[in-house]
A and B are shown apart, each in its own frame.
Chain A
Amino acid sequence: MTKRDLICVSCPIGCAITVELDDNNEVISVTGNTCPRGDKYARQECTHPERMLTSTVKVEGAKLPVVPVKSASPIPKEMLFDCMEEINKVSLTAPVRIGDKVIENILGTGVDIVATNNAL
């Protein structure tokens, strides 16, 4: 059995969480979280760590040259840089509105990249 100490990054409170894992890396117990999101995060982190990705993409014809984007949900941590490469290939034309899909199902993750501000 092994123990892993984690900091929950699901919200800014940052609870200190302890996870007990058995020899097959299966989660036995999660303690220290103050809400269910922490439990979910800890299990995910010990099996397939994921992160939200935020960046900007180029936009033509708007007041500013870029518009911010985010992944609609967390994506596998090891794919962050590959996704950045995809995001940096995109160029949009104004108007772009909050919530507009910028890339659908980025690199087969099932996660869309969406605009997080208006570019008019």
Chain B
Amino acid sequence: MIYLSFNKIIIIIIIILCKIFYSIRRRNRQKRVENNIQHPLSPADAPPLPISESADADAAAASSTTITTMFRQASRLLARSINQQPKMMARAFSTDVPATPTVDSTFVESWKKVIPNMEPPKTPLTFMQPRPSTPSTIPSKLTVNFVLPYASELSSKEVDMVIVPATTGQMGVLPGHVPTIAELKPGVLSVHEGNDVTKYFLSSGFAFIHANSVADIIAIEAVPIDQIDQSLVQKGLAEFTQKLSTATTDLEKAEAQIGVDVHSALNSALTG
């Protein structure tokens, strides 16, 4: 069995997910554009629609040949679509230095001893948003930070419960959960607040649950479930199952296996 490092696995998952999300985003964008533009001549609308369908298929095929352009466009589209929620940080300058910077004194002292003339570099502790301390009683709400490389999807949101797709299965997290480090597999994250449930499909990542009822969920890609296209999922699943059966080297087998896992998770996300 081949050993794939964690980062390598994540990369393969992202490549697979990008293929689906790229064409979805493209279609959503075109639909939105067509809705916004009011054409006086309606026959003009009819030809663009079938062309865009084939263009998407072509785009999906073409994009799979050049991985870098796909990453670029996928990341851009993903960033654009995810940044629809109003963001906390609207200021242009000096965004995240908290009011009371904390410094690691042992480091500063040892620095000053060896290099007295230069200022020591700052460490992440200085820029950290302070975390609440562990309360003695179980709080009523869970504070969730859900971050992606391109955005902070949820930051310090108070919710009742989240269900994370850990590698050992779906794990529900309530306030007062025992501190846990959970590795995530591709699956559905559902955030329950009162009666609303928001579901996202995550690529893999990590989830930390701290003693002070703060949950940090770090994933690489996340998409709301209603934006996933069923037909593309089925197509991908069929393609990867076929690749798995024809794979020769260990690496190909591992990649195909990951593809099958991701697509079946997507499938169950859509149906379940």
Report whether chain A binds chain B: no
B interface residues (Cβ-Cβ under 8 A, vs A): none
A interface residues (Cβ-Cβ under 8 A, vs B): none
